[in-house]
Amino acid sequence: MTANTALILTLLIPLFGSVLIGLTGRWPNLRETVTMVTAVSLFACVIRVLMGLYASEEIGVEVVSVMSGVGIAFNTEPLSIIFAMVASGLWVVTSVYAFGYMRGTKEVNQTRFYVCFAIALFGAMGIAFSANLLTLFIFYEVLTISTYPLVIHKGDAKAKAGGRTYLGILMTTSIVLLLPAIIWVYAVAGTLDFMPGGILQGHLTTIPATLLLLLFLFGIAKAAVMPVHKWLPAAMVAPTPVSALLHAVAVVKAGVFTLIKVLVYVFGSDFLAEVPYESIGVYLAGFTVVAASCVALRQTNIKRMLAYSTIGQLGYIVMATLALAPFSEIGAAIHIVSHAFGKITLFFTAGAIYVASKKTELAQLNGIGWRMPITMTAFAIGAMSMIGVPPTAGFVSKWFIMSGAFAVENYFVIVVLVLSTALNAAYFMPVIYNAFFKAEDVKPVKDHAEAPVSMVAALCVTAALTLLFFFFNGPVLDLETQIFGGAL
Amino acid sequence: MFPPALIMIIGAALIPLAPVRLRPALLIVAPMLTLLMVWNLGDGLLMTAPFLSYEIALVEASDLRRLFATIFALMAMISGLYMFRHARVLEMSASLAYAAGAVGVSFAGDLLSLYLFWEFMVLFSILVVWSGGTEQSRAAGIRYAIMLLIGGIILKVGIEAVYVQTGTHAIQALELDSVASWLLLLGVLIHAAAPPVSAWLADANPSASPTGSVILSAFTTKTAVLALILLFPGQQVLIWIGMYMIFYGIIYALLDNDIRRMLAYAIVNQVGFMVVGVGIGTGLALNGVVALAFAHIIFQALLLMSAGVVVIQTGKRNCTDLGGLYRTMPVTAICGTIGAMAMSAFPLTSGFVSGAMIAESAASGEPTWVWIGLLAAMAGVFVVVGLKFPWLVFFGKDAGLQAKDPSWNMQAAMIIFAVACVLLGVFPSVLTQFLPFDTVYSAYTVNHLLTQLVLLLIASGVFFAILPLLRRLSIQIVDTDFLYRRVGVQIWRSFIHLLVVLNGVFQTRVLDPGKRLPQFWFRYHGPEGPLARTWPTGSMLLWVAVMLVVILIGARLL
């Protein structure tokens, strides 16, 4: 199998997988086997593409060419392979988790759930491997639409209201802001292809460039820069596997990934450095980081707190990318991975708690650490990673972001990082304390221990990844260095 | 080759898994093995590991580092003996891991590995505070965690800044000529409980369990002292900071009524002596700092052990509720008194020699006020700890409490440390032969003995003069943490208020109109909307006629 075939397969496998899942919906065991096979073979294909990249094979496929410089085309580069690896690899783990969760909560419409999940992964793969802005935009919308049924999965009024906000914000921003921005780029540059060094240099004067930057910043609402972040807490009405893989990994990372792609391959770092008031973006993202952490402090629901934490962590990535230092770009790209591991662990534990005890609020967690020691230990590891203390993944990315900020003497970024560390500690520490050191308020009606085995296994895997990434981050680091340069 | 800290880390990991009977053994054997390994390490850089594309120096040994690692491991061992019947399994495990972090810092060969072990240490110290299990320990633990994590990140920022500036992570004496080295100093000083954040120590330490207080007294601040010795020897500013800490500690210890908090303020005071010593920076001064750190860990633990016993056995924690306990708990009383004497630099105790070395180094080459300040402070310590603690708790007016001496293991731990205090005082060469810097000093000169005795005599006069005041003491004192707790909370509230307002504006100006837009369209273009429903032919004709008339008139007018 050549790397090009593998590239095409990464798109076809989830697409046909979703059809097969739909067809086998009447036999749950078979359906779940199909899901698993799909997820594993997708991951295998992504690995094949990665090996192709390592062997410097020529990878690129053009499917349709609409007009010159515009078409549906796919290729790969280090950043996209990392995003694809994270999304597809964690899909395997999430599938195992989802089997336990969906059966444990006796959800209805499970077939629709798995079908939409596979289509969402199709969207994510398309975003990862898109070779130009048009392709990226199409798959961006595929991802939005395919996740909508997952958000309103419960079907009650609350879920529908959440879904309206979700679709409303994501669709509106993408059509009103992102699409015009893309057309604008085409109008001035005559192409939409992602090129190393950017395509805008020499085609755009400075002030309009600032405007274009802001259009992208808010148009890509999936990156959740305030104030277009509200869809993320709204999406928390979805079942937990959705929140875990899609709203902590695939969708939000698609957002920051898109933004980094635009900044690096459309604007280009050199041109970006010339854009006046480019630092507005840094300030907006910095504000998002601090404000989201403050809001997270006031949340009472576990998943909503995690959602606001995600908004803050995405802010790091945006801020670091816009800080325009090679090291912080590397840090931003690594944070895509390290935040994914940590946050998916946190969501997995939230779901495990829900399945085992039906608890959803932070105030109910007193003493739960002794009933579910594995789950809550995993929670502690995830929380440590969010705070960024060693030995967890979060430390690695923050280290690079900070190094970069020092290199360009951007003290705003450093102050934001320091503040947000304190705030993160302030909202994660009490949870860990209450779980392990407080006594249970009331004995639960039904005695419970850990959640089903498949869920515990999944969260152990991601917690282990969070720890291991601290020690074994070499491959990711090497890949990033290829794009962003900067001798380490 | 592996880091010596690993033995204790493995021990800490095994404790929760081991059968209950084996746990005390693990708690004591792991530090013992660490000690063995520490004393068999050769000098120099012994182990490196790749990390983040750097090659970090995990283990580097020298006399200085070995001495600190020794006292850390020794402390872990004896406090393990003290705590094992009383502490919860989590507290035992966390304590051992905490001590392991401190041993790791002792041997850290560059700034990056120093930072990694440091954070490891801080994380587990948080668990030790929380193991107190009360509401007070919860709140204090969270405040402690936030303060030390801020300290940690400032340290990290400083390390990165130093790296960007100098291109190396090497641990070497730095000059305070850039933001980078100031940040590094600030990060270390926060962990040393320097002003203005000294309050975290007195907040966290007495909030832990009685056994946890003992553990918490030893590692965090002393690793900070080690870092100061390695990175900032001879920086004048440290003399000022240390002086502040010395008198801050004395004043608050004098005013406080809670016995363990009083002893926690005494830690700030003693670390202040060490910081001054580092600031003086001569070989004699640094030797004094190392000796004092060594001796201080022992006598401070001894004091907190006896205070912990009192709290456990009587259930009371205030000086004014205690008194006359020597009748029923003689062992505790004697050990506690020896600890108090050692801290007051009483001759024939460990504190005498080390304190004398720092004072002596200040006498030559520093402004006179430093020397006078140090002497005054020594007298002050004798008043607020040397006399106040034993007098109000063990002697003085009998409060009628019939508390007994504790179980054998706690007694054994206290006796071992009490013997060590005396031993190091009578035979100082046991310790001084290992001191890293090459200077000769003898504390037992007639001149020095006389000075010290006169000083202590004056101090006891002062103590008995103010004793009636101390008995009535139950005032709530305001510390600097009041400032940042209140002001910080106020700033946070204002920021939240701003967010609420911004959110409201966004909601009413953007989101709500956005939601009304579809309703608006729906009203006019929906199935029953005026622009979409089927109209009767008649009315359609009428409207066509109206339109034609309008067009005609319009055309005519134009």
* Shortest CA distance from B491: residue in chain A: A294
Could you tell me if A27 lies within 8 Å of chain B, comparing CB atoms? no
Alpha-carbon torsion B72, B76, B81, B82, what sign? positive
Identify which of A353, A312, A314 has the alpha carbon closest to the alpha carbon of residue A332: A314
The first and second tokens of residue B56, run together, are 């970090």
Mean pLDDT, rounded, of chain B: 87
What local confidence, expressed as pLDDT, does residue B98 receive? 95
CB–CB of A402 and B160 under 8 A? yes
- B364/B411: higher pLDDT: B411
* B326 — pLDDT class (breaks 50, 70, 90): confident
Q: 3-class SS at B87?
A: coil
B438 CB neighbour count, 10 Å cutoff: 8
Calculate the alpha carbon distances from B117 to A40, B57, B71 in Å: 38, 12, 17
* Shortest CA distance from A331: residue in chain B: B52
Q: Kindly give, in sequence order, each residue whose CB lies less than 8 Å from that of residue B531, ignoring residues fewer than 6 positions away.
A: B524, B525
Contacts B130 to A, Cβ<8 Å:
433, 436-437
DSSP string, B381-439: HIIIIIIHHHHHHTSSS-----PPP--HHHHHHHHHHHHHHHHHHH-THHHHTT-SS--
Calculate the alpha carbon distances from A191 to A63, A130, A201, A427, A429 in Å: 16, 14, 12, 46, 49
Q: Which amino acid is at B384?
A: V
A390, A403, A430 member nearest B116 (Cβ): A390
Q: 3-class SS at A438?
A: coil
DSSP string, B518-540: HHHHHHHHSTTSTTTS---HHHH
Could you tell me if B505 lies within 8 Å of chain A, comparing CB atoms? no
What local confidence, expressed as pLDDT, does residue B484 receive? 67
Radius of gyration of chain A (CA): 21
Provide mean pLDDT across the span B539-544. 86
Distance (Å, whole) CA A55 – CA A453: 39
State percent of chain B over pLDDT 90.
35
What local confidence, expressed as pLDDT, does residue A480 receive? 75
- A487/B387: higher pLDDT: B387
> Where on the phi/psi map is residue B59: left (φ > 0), alpha (ψ -120 to 50), or beta?
beta
pLDDT beyond 60 at B475: no
What local confidence, expressed as pLDDT, does residue A487 receive? 40
Is this complex's ipTM strictly greater than 0.85? no
Backbone angles phi, psi at B44, to 5 degrees: 90, -175
Task: Please list the ranges in chain A whose pLDDT falls under 50.
Answer: 486-488
Task: Identify the burial level of B429 via C-beta atoms within 10 angstroms of its C-beta, where 0-12 means exposed, 13-18 middle and 19 or more buried.
Answer: exposed
Mean pLDDT, rounded, of chain A: 89
CB–CB of B53 and A488 under 8 A? yes
CB–CB of B496 and A168 under 8 A? no
pLDDT beyond 70 at B479: no
Q: Which residue reads 């009767």 in tokens?
A: B536
B289 CB neighbour count, 10 Å cutoff: 31
Could you tell me if A485 lies within 8 Å of chain B, comparing CB atoms? no
CB–CB of A414 and B157 under 8 A? yes
Q: How far is B463 from chain A (nearest CA, A)?
A: 42
Full-model pTM: 0.84
A295, A389, A425 member nearest B499 (Cβ): A295
A-B C-beta contacts closer than 8 Å: 93
Could you tell me if A473 lies within 8 Å of chain B, comparing CB atoms? yes
For A167, half-sphere exposure in the C-beta direction (CA atoms, 13 angstrom radius) is: 15
Q: How far is A60 from chain B (nearest CA, A)?
A: 31
Q: Which residue reads 């392979």 in tokens?
A: A81
Distance (Å, whole) CA A62 – CA A244: 33
Identify which of B212, B213, B217, B220 has the alpha carbon closest to the alpha carbon of residue B191: B220
pLDDT in tens, A50-86: 888 888 888 888 888 877 768 889 988 888 999 999 9
What local confidence, expressed as pLDDT, does residue A486 receive? 47
Could you tell me if A188 lies within 8 Å of chain B, comparing CB atoms? no
* B533 — pLDDT class (breaks 50, 70, 90): confident
Kind and range of the H or E run holding B50 = strand B44-51
DSSP B475: P
Could you tell me if A391 lies within 8 Å of chain B, comparing CB atoms? yes
Could you tell me if A366 lies within 8 Å of chain B, comparing CB atoms? no
pLDDT in tens, B147-200: 888 888 889 889 988 888 888 888 888 888 888 899 999 999 999 998 888 888
What local confidence, expressed as pLDDT, does residue A282 receive? 92
Provide mean pLDDT across the span B441-467. 82
Backbone angles phi, psi at A390, to 5 degrees: -70, 155
DSSP B445: -
Q: Which residue reads 């063990």 in tokens?
A: B394
Distance (Å, whole) CA B322 – CA B329: 13
CB–CB of A406 and B160 under 8 A? yes
Kind and range of the H or E run holding A319 = helix A302-322
